[in-house]
Amino acid sequence: MNKLSDMPNISGVIEEKLMDVGILSPAALIEAGSRDAFQRIRIKDPTVCFNMLCALEGAVRGIRWHYLDQEVKDELRTYFKTLRKA
């Protein structure tokens, strides 16, 4: 994979958002991790949603976000809720 949009769940829109925050390649996204990437995007766009966080996590794991284990989704939801309070 050479482009972010080659990864599962990464649409052209998400690819643009990632590039805007300095995440320019699949390797850079994997290194940053879903939470760090999400936080960077959220600083520029506070309207980002829980589904984007799941999409990023799925991309890092190389799977469609729909196939994330429920436990992982629950952890991401808890994390997302802490961000909304901050």
Show the domain range for 45.
4-85
Task: Specify the number of domains making up the chain.
Answer: 1
Distance between CA 18 and CA 62 in Å, rounded?
17
Q: What is the pLDDT of residue 23?
A: 98
Give the CATH number of the domain where residue 32 resides.
1.10.150.20
Distance between CA 79 and CA 75 in Å, rounded?
6
Q: Residue 78 carries which side chain, given as an amino acid letter? A: T
- What does pTM read for this prediction? 0.94
Structure tokens at 19: 């590039």
Low-confidence spans in the chain with pLDDT less than 70: 1, 85-86
Q: What is the pLDDT of residue 86?
A: 59
